[in-house]
Copies of this chain bind each other. A is one copy, B any other.
Amino acid sequence: MIRAVAALMLSPLAGGCVAAAAIPAVAGSMIVKSQMDKKRERRVEVQAAAPAQSVDTPEGRVTVIKGMTALPPPTGTPPAAAAAAAAGGAVPETMQYLYGSGESAGLSMQAYRALADYLTKNVVYRRRETLRQVVLSDGSSLNAPLFEPCGAKPLAVVLDIDETAVLNLGYEADAARRGGGYDDARWGRWEASGADKVVAVPGAKAALDAARKAGITVIFNSNRSNANATATEAALDHAGLGPAKHGETLWLKGDDGGGSGKDDRRWAIASGYCVVAMVGDQLGDFSDLFNDPRMTPAARRAFAATSPVAELWGNGWFLLPNPVYGTGLKGGFDDVFPTDRRWSDPAEGVK
């Protein structure tokens, strides 16, 4: 097992820090307990503070701290980041889950396997006359979706980019160090300069390779700015997901006259292609109708789960996990928890 772990250190997913055998027995046993029984997970996490450890990796000396509540003294990081780190920039749980867990890696691979199976075992074997766009036609509602026939248009799959095709590790690591909220200007500089600091979402490359091999054009539809088109093409290439060419297989914000919804771009793409699948991490990657401001989070969730378009999940529409940012992170107590599912601890004598 030790050798197996060491071998995996070189995989792009393993990252730079594997302290496999270096974890003290005491911390190890606590981790066993915590991992062997997920019900006790959170409590044990609080207790499982172990001393910092440094290990040498192919990428240099790395410090690993268990149960950390603040970052170790940063090395080679900008002063601002060091300050934020000193102020206590522990990695948020949403980032631990999306960027660091085997669970989210497996969830992403499962989604991309479903996409590849759908394209190569279903779509390509269907009679062309039976194919319809999975893009909702103009005039659709979520309760009355309309899908146009494809005719003889070439097949295409349309994907969002951020946290759908690539993980923005560079930006999010910087954001985790700083703490605080989203910085739109900084995101713009990230789009322009971070091309070599992204990785492909697990499973994405294999699925897109399979789609292209099956003769299905891969097209990206993103709200990244078209002012940074070249850098975004480079980011997709770096992640192994290219080629993407702006104006042909890459559509960005500003391309459709500035609208920040994605429907206009979807309809422009569908005018030239039979869009047989869409992939995203936000409901807005499938239809702008999900962003109707009149919908509470509970109503929006109900539309996703019970309206006619719910039949499309895993069946033309493919979702990737993203608890880190976006339209899923909304709602007060009564939005998230139905009133008929409230529970009072009987030990407090209130029923």
Which residue of the partner chain, among B38, B187, B284, B350, contacts A326 with CB atoms under 8 Å?
Answer: B38
Q: Is the CB of B294 within 8 A of A23?
A: yes
Q: Is the CB of A260 within 8 A of B36?
A: yes
Taking the nearest CB of chain B, how far is it from the CB of A142, in angstroms? 7
The digit string for A74-107, where 1 denotes a CB below 8 A from any CB of B, is 0001111100000001111111111111111111
A149 at the interface (CB under 8 A from B): no
A153 at the interface (CB under 8 A from B): no
A71 at the interface (CB under 8 A from B): yes
Q: Is the CB of B105 within 8 A of A304?
A: yes
Which residue of the partner chain, among B96, B109, B189, contacts A331 with CB atoms under 8 Å?
Answer: B96
Complex Cα spacing A75 to B42, Å: 29
Taking the nearest CB of chain B, how far is it from the CB of A181, in angstroms? 5
Interface size on A, residues (CB 8 A): 169
Report B-chain residues with C-beta under 8 Å of the C-beta of A59: 338-340
Taking the nearest CB of chain B, how far is it from the CB of A61, in angstroms? 10
Which residue of the partner chain, among B42, B62, B314, contacts A325 with CB atoms under 8 Å?
Answer: B42
Which residue of the partner chain, among B21, B110, B293, B294, contacts A318 with CB atoms under 8 Å?
Answer: B110
Report B-chain residues with C-beta under 8 Å of the C-beta of A81: 344
Which residue of the partner chain, among B8, B294, B341, contacts A173 with CB atoms under 8 Å?
Answer: B341
- Contact stretch, chosen from A11-19, A123-131, A267-275: A11-19
Complex Cα spacing A95 to B328, Å: 10
Q: Is the CB of A335 within 8 A of B181?
A: no
Which residue of the partner chain, among B102, B197, B303, B317, contacts A343 with CB atoms under 8 Å?
Answer: B197
Give the one of A27, A72, A103 with max B CB within 10 A: A103
Report B-chain residues with C-beta under 8 Å of the C-beta of A342: 77, 170, 173-174, 197
A172 at the interface (CB under 8 A from B): yes
Complex Cα spacing A37 to B259, Å: 9
Q: Is the CB of B283 within 8 A of A103?
A: yes
Which residue of the partner chain, among B223, B314, B345, contacts A189 with CB atoms under 8 Å?
Answer: B345
Report B-chain residues with C-beta under 8 Å of the C-beta of A305: 11, 13, 102, 105-106, 109, 202
Give the one of A102, A185, A310 with max B CB within 10 A: A102
Q: Is the CB of A99 within 8 A of B336?
A: yes
Known: A91-B335, A104-B328, A117-B314. 20 other contacts (CB 8 A): A8-B303, A13-B298, A16-B334, A16-B338, A36-B260, A38-B327, A42-B182, A96-B336, A102-B303, A103-B304, A103-B326, A106-B310, A109-B314, A170-B343, A172-B337, A174-B343, A176-B333, A186-B347, A189-B347, A321-B323
